[in-house]
């Protein structure tokens, strides 16, 4: 009889431990599902990233040659021109946030796996994949 009680005790202990593990797993998966960023959040994220890339790519100045005494003035003017370029692009209707956002909305597909998503955005030079989960994004290199 004592052996039956021990077996019952261990069976109940395993059942309780398994139940607690199942509850913890359900809570974790539920939290991950809630923290899975929406398509809207991805589009906003990607628009900001792409806009920054465009600004940096277009407004990136080359190194100035040695201009002697005029080097300081030339450097200051070059820095000012770079900032003006970035401001102009950020506020323009061609490269601004909204046009970039509209482009991304039209060229992005989503695979939703409930606890995370993968977003694919098509560009003329290839396809970009971004993994989204826990309210974060990880963009992978562009593939052709």
User: Which residues have CB under 8 Å from 138's CB, separation 6+?
Assistant: 130, 131, 132
Decide: pTM greater than 0.75: no
Running DSSP on this structure, what letter comes out for residue 26? H
Q: And the tokens for 123?
A: 């560009």
Given the structure tokens 């005494």, which residue do they identify?
69
Q: And the tokens for 7?
A: 């077996």
Q: And the tokens for 87?
A: 């401001």
> What are 17-62's pLDDT values in tens digits?
666 676 766 666 666 667 889 999 999 999 888 877 777 766 666 5
Position 64 pLDDT exceeds 70: no
Work out the mean pLDDT of the chain and round it to a whole number: 75
pLDDT of residue 83: 72
Pairwise CA distance, residues 129 & 142, whole Å: 7
Helix (H, G, I), strand (E, B) or coil at 25: helix
User: Which residues have CB under 8 Å from 130's CB, separation 6+?
Assistant: 42, 45, 46, 118, 119, 121, 137, 138, 139, 140
Pairwise CA distance, residues 16 & 45, whole Å: 43
pLDDT of residue 17: 64
């Amino acid at each position: 009889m004592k052996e039956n009680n021990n077996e019952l005790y261990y069976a109940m202990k395993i059942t309780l431990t398994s139940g607690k593990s199942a509850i913890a797993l359900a809570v974790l998966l539920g939290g991950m599902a809630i923290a899975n960023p929406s398509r809207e959040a991805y589009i906003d994220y990607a628009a900001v990233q792409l806009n920054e890339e465009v600004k940096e790519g277009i407004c990136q100045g080359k190194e100035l040659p040695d201009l002697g005494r005029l080097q300081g003035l030339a450097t200051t003017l070059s820095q000012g021109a770079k900032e003006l370029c970035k401001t102009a692009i950020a506020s323009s209707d061609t490269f601004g946030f909204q046009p970039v956002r509209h482009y991304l909305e039209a060229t992005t597909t989503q695979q939703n796996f409930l606890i995370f998503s993968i977003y694919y955005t098509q560009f003329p030079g290839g396809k970009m994949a971004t993994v989204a989960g826990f309210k974060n994004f990880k963009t992978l290199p562009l593939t052709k």
